[in-house]
Amino acid sequence: MTRILIVEDSPTQATQIRFLIEEAGYDAVVAEDGLAALESLANQPCDIVLTDLHMPNMNGLQLVEEVRNRYETIPVILITNDGTETIAAQALQKGAASYIPKRYLDSTLLSTLKGIVEMQDAAKSRQHILNTLVESRSKYILGNNQELVAVLVQHLETELRTFDFGDETGLFQISMALTEAVLNAMDHGNLELSSALRSDAEAYQKLRDERCSTPPYESRRVALSVELTAEKIKLVVADEGKGFDPSTIPDPTDPENLMRENGRGLMLIYSFMDEIHHNETGNEITMIKHRRDPDAEESA
């Protein structure tokens, strides 16, 4: 069973989060601050860390750094408040896997956990890939089945490992960015679902299910092109929706937009990837991540 470490200094908030997690079938343990969380991790392994930002002794930002240094395979999710946009953006840059605005906790927590757990499960069952691979170009055509995304992303993550492309945090960031881009292409591109509906998870899923079997949405596909070399990975995700004007996108690098529910996916993509480009129609995004050279970074 997946074990989730909740790091929250408010007993009331911790109880609420623990209830949501355990009702979904996960195991949950609680630590009151960052120091207690590190002690818990040393004594009892966990699969995911879910932490608040503001806590005594060691805050969420400091905890992200410590977990990355000590347990690089454990993803950390932050629960953010209004007014903490800059700190949350810093945490993403320092290795946080994702973030959840506290106001959307009830509607977003379980779907975020589900996505991360699916990627972890896929990683455990990945097949051996030849170590002689030096360059790879591939193209995938997907329908709008969300369940295939985690498997595909994990397959590509395995390829990155054969290139020794980066540490576990870097690979996880690429996986999260690609997951967000493909899901956005499916939901907001092909199925034309409005982000405004996300506050009502049940209504959102109901409309999604309807459009997956209704013309013209049901026949639309997502195309993923992958170019992988020893120096970089280039990912191009295109949908068959109507598109949009990319110039109308709120600046996803501005911390003020971090708490916008409809900009969360792009915020993750812009935080995790080195280059991002949209086509004029707005139905294609190109994402590039350059390979990090650990030796060069240490000598810098």
| Residue 147 backbone phi and psi in degrees, to 5 | -65, -20
Domain with CATH 3.40.50.2300 in the chain: 3-122
pLDDT at residue 213 above 80? yes
* Residues 212, 49: Cα–Cα separation, whole Å: 34
Pick the residue with more confidence: 180 or 167? 180
Domain 127-299 CATH class label:
alpha beta
Question: Is the pLDDT confidence value at 20 over 70?
Answer: yes
Rounded-to-integer distance, Cα 90 and Cα 172, Å: 17
Six-digit token string for 134: 């030096």
Report the predicted TM-score, pTM, of the whole model to 2 decimal places. 0.64
Q: How confident is the model at residue 257 (pLDDT cuts 50, 70, 90)?
A: low
The CATH number for 3-122, chosen from 3.50.30.10, 3.40.640.10, 3.40.50.2300, 3.40.50.261, is: 3.40.50.2300
**H-assigned helices in the chain:** 11-23, 34-43, 60-70, 85-93, 105-124, 147-162, 168-184, 201-211, 264-272, 294-299
Q: State pLDDT tens for residues 50-70.
A: 999 889 889 898 999 999 999
Location of each CATH 3.30.565.10 domain in the chain = 127-299
To the nearest 10°, the Cα dihedral for 180, 285, 80, 39? 60
Q: Do 91 and 61 meet the contact criterion of CB atoms below 8 Å apart?
A: yes
Q: What percent of the chain has pLDDT over 70?
A: 89
Cβ-contact 221, 260 below 8 angstroms: no
